[in-house]
Structure 1
Amino acid sequence: LTTAFYEQRPAFHWHPGLLIDGATLQVPFLADLTTLADPTSPWTFLNYLRTRERLYPFYFAEQFHIHRAEYDAYCRWVSEQLPTIHFDHQVDAVHWNAAHSHYEVDWTRLGPDGETRSQGHTHTRHIALGVGTAPFIPDPPRPLADAPPSAARPATVTG
């Protein structure tokens, strides 16, 4: 797959505000992002520990349930290595280009204070919109979601 993910936040954070000191995951570390699907993946929790020179201390501690804060750090470590994730990118507009049968996505790369660093344009055949627990469609794709489906524009934007 050729993909691009745009995220307005500056970095990944798993359950911000819910990382209580000492709280652990309810599942063992083997239920990480990849191990059960592909134990040879470079993004396993054990590889994360190895890169932090903590694999042997973890092994000898014999703890199968890791701390939630460490899982957050692990997920952030993985996200920082994936070249298709673009943090600090705000999607400004999404338009259907009927002539070329694709969507046009306008985005702005943000600086630390929210100022514009650069702007760009991406073409794509498909869009997936993460709307959160409570469905919410932001302003940029609102016209696509509100428009009735037609043969000229595939109905792929949903709320």
Structure 2
Amino acid sequence: MTGSTPAPQDPDRPHDLVGVGIGPFNLSLAALAHGVPGGLATAFYEQRPAFQWHPGLLIEGATLQVPFLADLVTLADPASPWSFLSYLRHRERLFPFYFAEKFHIQRAEYDAYCRWVSERLPGLHFGHQVDSVRWNAERRLFEVDFTQVDPAGGAEALGRAYTRNVVLGVGTEPYVPEPLRP
């Protein structure tokens, strides 16, 4: 939902879950939540304008360390429409993949698969920087304040989401040893 204008959310109808950051962990959580019977009201916010997984590290020929079944959803929900096999079917590459007999996919393909999911899964808000998360004791809800940003990082609009649960999926800070720092 890139570029969507934040709509005011009614605190009387809060989300069940708000995720901060959209990397593989929260993308997986969003995909699994999408398939919950009865539905879950979710929203996931990411300040980058689109999904990116390890930019700069998608070296040609480099593969994942785990087989393709360890995608975003398959081990938890093998029938999910968000599986790697569904991605291959959508791309009309299921049979060539099967006959190649390679169970470790290339990192660039995993990135493309995650982007495919992120472009189709509802409730993902790219270009939204989360500014604060706080507990509202009176409402017994979390308040998540965010800024919708343009591609250059400038503020376009402010918004607030109310939720019963918050998941932080902001990744890890890279560690650069002192001698290698600029």
Give the secondary structure class of the aligned counterpart of 1:117: strand
CA distance in 2, matches of 1:124, 1:103: 5
Q: For this pair of structures, how many residues does the alignment match? A: 134
Deviations, residues 121-143 of structure 1 (Å, cap 9, x unaligned): 11123323335335xxxxxxxxx
Q: Which has the higher contact order (CA 8 A, sep 6+)?
A: 2
Match of residue 94, structure 1, among 115, 130, 133: 133
Structure 2: 5+ residue runs without aligned partners?
A: 1-39, 174-182
Taking a change above 3 Å as real, the CA distance of residues 127 and 22 of structure 1, as seen in their structure-2 partners, is same
Stretch of structure 1 that moved more, 48-57 or 116-125: 116-125
In 2, Cα distance between the equivalents of 1:95 and 1:20?
40
User: Which residue in the other structure is 2:146 paired with?
Assistant: 107
Q: Aligned with 1:128: secondary structure?
A: strand
- Code of the residue aligned with 2:158 in structure 1: it is Q
2:92 aligned with 1:53, yes or no?
yes
Show the counterpart of 2:14: none
Match of 2:159 among 120, 128, 131: 120
Whether 2:101 is the aligned partner of 1:37: answer no
For residues 33 and 50 of structure 1, the distance between their equivalents in structure 2, rounded to whole angstroms, comes to 16
User: How far did residue 2 of structure 1 move?
Assistant: 2.4
The CA deviation at 1:23 is 0.7
> RMSD of the alignment, in Å?
1.9
Q: Name the larger-Rg structure.
A: 1
- 2:128, 2:81 → 1: CA distance? 26
TM-score by length of 1: 0.73
Of 113, 130, 144, the match for 2:169? 130
Residue 102 of structure 1: how far off its partner (Å): 2.0
Q: How far apart are the structure 2 equivalents of 1:6 and 1:126? A: 14
> 7-16 vs 69-78, which deviates more?
7-16
| 1:69 aligned partner | 108
Query: Percentage identity across aligned positions?
Result: 71
Query: Is 1:8–2:53 an aligned residue pair?
Result: no
SS in 1 for 2:109: helix
